[in-house]
């Protein structure tokens, strides 16, 4: 298929299927997204999953750069903790960790870890929160 033919096909499919950024149930009950991607039967390939992951990591890092520009002066382990939390929570919820973020900024990592452990988020994600709190407190992976 030539590039021109492929471009025509893309235009046809986008017109016929629509371009949907959020999952929906199609006319035969299949979970679908994008341009007719049948998630129920086809799912995502490993490459697609990794592409989405990298994209979502970039979004979390951009959010951290805008929201708490001092985060990039932290050591790599504590930056990883914040990036992991931002990825999981999203920036709007992470910025609600006011005392925890203030503790991190002043270098009081024990208080930051305690704030992480005492959060609703910790009760929701369990072992993940504990692992990240240990990393925050110790500075070790």
Residues 48-103: tens digit of each pLDDT: 999 999 999 999 999 999 999 999 999 999 999 999 999 999 999 999 999 999 99
Give me Rg for the CA atoms of the chain.
20
What pLDDT was estimated at residue 13?
A: 97
Count of domains observed in the chain: 2
pLDDT tens digit sequence for 27-55: 999 999 999 999 999 999 999 999 999 99
Beta carbons within 10 angstroms of residue 72's beta carbon: 11
* 45 within a domain of the structure (yes/no): no
Query: What tokens does 99 get?
Result: 């005392």
**46 found inside a domain:** no
Q: Contact at 8 Å (CB) between 84 and 141?
A: no
Give the integer Cα–Cα distance in Å for 69 and 82.
Answer: 12
CATH number for the domain harbouring residue 103: 1.10.530.40
Please answer whether residues 85 and 94 qualify as being in contact, where contact means their C-beta atoms are separated by less than 8 angstroms.
Answer: yes
3-class DSSP assignment, residue 70: helix
Q: Quick one: pLDDT at residue 139?
A: 98
Give residue 107's region: left, alpha or beta (phi > 0; psi -120 to 50). Answer: left
State CA 38 to chain mean position distance.
Answer: 22
Is residue 52 a part of any domain in this protein?
Answer: no
Residues 85, 133: one domain?
yes
pLDDT confidence of 125, banded at 50, 70, 90?
A: very high
Residue range(s) defining the domain that contains residue 82: 69-138
């Amino acid at each position: 298929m030539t590039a021109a033919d492929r471009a025509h096909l893309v235009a046809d499919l986008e017109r016929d299927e629509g371009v949907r950024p959020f999952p929906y149930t199609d006319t035969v009950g299949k979970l679908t997204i994008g341009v007719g991607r049948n998630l129920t039967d086809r799912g995502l390939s490993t490459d697609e999953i990794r592409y989405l992951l990298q994209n979502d990591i970039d979004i979390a890092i951009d959010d951290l750069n805008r929201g708490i520009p001092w985060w990039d002066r932290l050591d790599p382990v504590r930056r990883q903790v914040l990036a992991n939390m931002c990825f999981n929570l999203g920036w709007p919820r992470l910025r609600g960790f006011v005392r925890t973020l203030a503790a991190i900024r002043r270098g009081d990592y024990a208080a930051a870890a305690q704030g992480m452990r005492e959060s609703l988020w910790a009760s929701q994600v369990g072992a993940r929160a504990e692992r990240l709190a240990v990393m925050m407190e110790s500075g070790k992976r």
